[in-house]
Amino acid sequence: MNKSLLGASLVTLALAAPLAQAHEAGDIILRAGAITTNPTADSSSVKVDQGPLSGADLGGKATMSSDTQLGLNFAYMLTSNWGIELLAATPFEHDVKLKNTALSAANGKLGTLKHLPPTLSVVYYPLDAKSDFQPYVGAGINYTWIYDEHVGSDASAAGFSNFKAKNSWGMAWQVGADYMLTDRVMINAQVRYIDIDTRATVENNAVAPGTRARVNVDVDPFIYMVGLGYKF
């Protein structure tokens, strides 16, 4: 009789216990992993905008290399389906190259720059909160802070100096998914597209005193991240 009562009590408790939910209102989620930014770098032609050659169109294009760093996401769930999320990362570093310009000395690696891409997004999880698999979509705004620009050794030897690039505001979109390994630990994968537009300038007094060239670059990278997450 005692065993029957114990069994009935355990069944009653199991039925009464709430089902574990993947994400609930008030949850704080920290994700970390490898993040790669892959610029598409569609640029204007290179033009001289200062100096005696001002107005000259040198043609050509600018390109930027990819880079992988440590990515961090901080998310707060407003409801079981809606949240806000901040993307951060250790600084990305990119080689900037010019190709096919009329000035042969400009072709090749111009220099390098670093940037930080903090992005604030609203995210939506369409599935029931009880699902271990939680795909999501998001949209938000990005601020790209570009710094530590410097010309490479070959470009410096050719007379280039004072390489600069402007910071950028732009929209950001993402798709991603969490898969809950436990009530608190998850694996995560995400893909983002960020609208980053910058104007880069560089000087060259060896061509003519006061000469400066500029190029407008639609960086517009795809960003990929894979990592682990923990829910507090």
Phi, psi angles (nearest 5°) of residue 10:
-65, -40
pLDDT tens per residue, range 25-52? 999 999 999 999 999 888 888 999 888 8
State which amino acid sits at residue 15: L
CB neighbourhood size of 165 (10 A): 22
User: Do residues 33 and 71 touch, judged by C-beta distance below 8 A?
Assistant: yes
pLDDT tens per residue, range 136-166? 999 999 999 999 999 998 889 888 999 999 9
CA pair distance 66, 83, nearest whole angstrom: 29
Q: Domain extents for the chain?
A: 23-231
CB neighbourhood size of 218 (10 A): 16
Which of 14-18, 34-38, 57-61, 215-219 bottoms out in mean pLDDT, i.e. has the lowest?
14-18
pLDDT tens per residue, range 161-197? 999 999 999 999 999 999 999 999 999 999 999 999 9
Calculate the CA dihedral of residues 181, 186, 191, 195 and round it to 10 degrees: 160
Architecture, CATH, for domain 23-231:
Beta Barrel (2.40)
Is residue 11 scored above 60 in pLDDT?
no
Which of 169, 30, 148, 26 lies closest to 87, judged by CA? 30
